[in-house]
């Protein structure tokens, strides 16, 4: 139904009447951006036959159900024909939309306008090449984070109170949003004046609840920073999935897992959770919240290993879409990639190739936006630091407005008046690269797991 409305002939006529000389004069303004973006989206939609749109929608919904049951039963064979069908339909969609390089380009464009298989590979291959030896060096160091302190008793009511105060302190406006409890943390809502966050709490896993709150608050702070006067129009919408994720990751990791942040908040944490944290030195707690170790599950992985989970998925889904990998061979290719990259192999497909929902709905091209988000976060954060001064010292003093204001001015209010690759070039002076994130990860994990690690991983 949405497709029929978007592609109705009169919508095209309305948009055409807006293409006037006034519009050309306002190419960089709201009207220019709105008309340009709406026409771009509509043009793509009109190329896809309604019957195909309908079949994709119906199949995705059924395939999702089959995937959920197959994951529970650890039964890839049951899911396989559905994944094959979703893949076939998405390739058909890509062929209908058209592309110049790879059919993957037509699909990724739905999530990350302006990116292609080649442009993503350029940054993610560089990231993977440098990150794999860093993660191996962390394992080889033999050092272990005192992670058991985070599994002590953290009463849920105190976690909710503590997390809410932290979210408010970094800038989430509780007069224009709220925080509730669900099974899966998320951020939703209805525009910048009503942003809904959710998280979950586990008495014996402080990090799960707390960092989910910071992550979702980061998404929410972005939503609250979008322009209310352009609500519902591209100029008032989030730029892309990767930029959205850059905001959540920045507050979760670059702020919330920084030393300065805990210099500011740790005494408070000890007061809120005396049974768990009394007598635990700040440095031990900091190491615990920054533990890094290869694991099987993407959503439970840490700041360093997370991107490798994404690089693996990008390589596999690109090969699927480009016809270089058959669905039947996917579980084996998955395990090989995990062995080569993270040094771990899941004994089950449930915790392997079946762990994520995305492919069941044919969302090929979505995964890279997670890693691109981490890269954008690091590069934007560095640029903010160059302009604002010592951010870590600000966090240690509980000062988050300077960073928040910088993000509001440089990212949030831009909406879709620019694409993400262009924004990062204009604001940081360089195109997106793996270097800022790698530099940050080497410094942090070199400090925690041994100074020599930074040098050995760099070679």
Give contact residues for Zn ion (rule: CB under 5 A). Answer: 248
Burial of 278 (0-12, 13-18, 19+ CB in 10 A): exposed
- In angstroms, give the least distance from the CB of 390 to Zn ion: 27
Distance of CA 404 to the CA centre of its chain: 19
Q: What percent of the chain is helix, strand and coil (3-state, nearest 5)?
A: 70, 5, 30
- In angstroms, give the least distance from the CB of 177 to Zn ion: 16
> Of 44, 381, 30, which is closest to residue 237 (Cα–Cα)?
30
Ranked by CB distance to Zn ion, the top (closest) residue is 248
CA distances from 389 to 60, 261, 284, 399 (A): 48, 16, 27, 12
- In angstroms, give the least distance from the CB of 393 to Zn ion: 27
- For Zn ion, the closer of residues 111 and 264 by Cβ is 111
- In angstroms, give the least distance from the CB of 252 to Zn ion: 8
Rounded Cα–Cα distance for residues 130 and 145 (Å): 23
- For Zn ion, the closer of residues 187 and 265 by Cβ is 187
- For Zn ion, the closer of residues 248 and 253 by Cβ is 248
* Tokens of residue 147, six digits: 């992670």
Q: Could you tell me how many helices (H) and strands (E) the chain has, helices first?
A: 22, 3
DSSP string for 141-177: H-----GGGGGS---HHHHHHHHHHHHHHHT--TTSE
From 112, 115, 216, 418, the catalytic residue: 216
Q: Tokens 């009207």 label which residue?
A: 31
- For Zn ion, the closer of residues 238 and 272 by Cβ is 238
Rounded Cα–Cα distance for residues 15 and 44 (Å): 14
- For Zn ion, the closer of residues 248 and 290 by Cβ is 248
Start-to-end CA distance of the chain, whole Å, equals 55
Rounded Cα–Cα distance for residues 259 and 252 (Å): 13
- For Zn ion, the closer of residues 7 and 247 by Cβ is 247
- In angstroms, give the least distance from the CB of 36 to Zn ion: 27
- For Zn ion, the closer of residues 303 and 349 by Cβ is 303
Q: Torsion over CA of 355, 360, 362 and 365, rounded to 10 degrees? A: -10
- In angstroms, give the least distance from the CB of 241 to Zn ion: 9
Q: Tokens 């949405």 label which residue?
A: 2
- In angstroms, give the least distance from the CB of 179 to Zn ion: 15
Distance of CA 124 to the CA centre of its chain: 14
Known catalytic residue: 387? Answer: no
Catalytic residues: 216
């Amino acid at each position: 139904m949405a497709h029929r409305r978007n592609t109705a002939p009169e919508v095209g006529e309305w948009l055409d009447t807006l293409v006037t000389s006034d519009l050309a004069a306002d190419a960089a303004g709201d009207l220019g951006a709105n008309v340009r973006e709406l026409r771009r989206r509509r043009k793509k939609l009109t190329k896809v036959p309604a019957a195909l749109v309908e079949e994709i929608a119906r199949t995705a919904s059924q395939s999702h159900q089959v995937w959920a049951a197959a994951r529970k039963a650890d039964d890839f064979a049951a899911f396989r024909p559905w994944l094959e069908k979703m893949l076939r339909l998405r390739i058909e969609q890509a062929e209908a939309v058209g592309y110049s390089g790879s059919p993957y380009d037509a699909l990724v464009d739905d999530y990350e306008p302006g990116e292609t298989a080649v442009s993503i590979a350029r940054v993610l291959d560089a990231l993977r090449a440098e990150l794999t030896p860093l993660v191996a060096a962390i394992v080889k160091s033999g050092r272990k984070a005192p992670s058991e302190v985070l599994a002590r008793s953290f009463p849920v009511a105190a976690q909710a109170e503590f997390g809410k105060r932290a979210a408010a302190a970094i800038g989430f406006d509780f007069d224009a949003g709220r925080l509730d409890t669900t099974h899966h943390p998320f951020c939703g809502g209805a525009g910048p004046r009503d942003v809904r966050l959710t998280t979950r709490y586990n008495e014996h896993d402080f990090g799960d609840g707390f960092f989910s709150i910071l992550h979702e608050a980061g998404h929410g702070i972005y939503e609250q920073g979008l322009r209310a006067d352009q609500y519902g129009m591209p100029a008032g919408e989030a730029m892309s999935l990767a930029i959205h994720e850059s905001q959540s990751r920045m507050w979760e990791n670059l702020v919330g897992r920084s030393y300065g942040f805990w210099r500011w908040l740790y005494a408070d944490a000890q007061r809120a959770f005396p049974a768990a944290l009394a007598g635990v030195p700040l440095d031990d707690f900091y190491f615990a919240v920054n533990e890094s170790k290869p694991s099987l599950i993407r959503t439970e992985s840490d700041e360093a290993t997370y991107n490798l989970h994404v690089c693996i998925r990008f390589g596999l889904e690109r090969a699927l879409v480009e016809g270089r990998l058959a669905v039947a061979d996917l579980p084996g290719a998955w395990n090989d990639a995990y062995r080569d990259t993270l040094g771990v192999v899941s004994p089950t497909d449930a915790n392997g190739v079946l762990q994520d929902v995305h492919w069941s709905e044919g969302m090929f091209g979505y995964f890279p936006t997670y890693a691109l988000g981490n890269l954008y976060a690091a590069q934007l954060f560095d640029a903010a630091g160059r302009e604002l001064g010592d951010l870590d010292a600000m966090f240690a003093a509980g000062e988050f407005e300077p960073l928040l204001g910088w993000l509001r001015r440089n990212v949030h209010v831009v909406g879709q008046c620019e694409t993400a690759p262009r924004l990062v070039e204009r604001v940081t002076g360089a195109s997106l690269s793996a270097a800022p994130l790698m530099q940050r990860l080497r410094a942090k994990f070199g400090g925690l797991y041994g100074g020599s690690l930074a040098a050995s991983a760099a070679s």
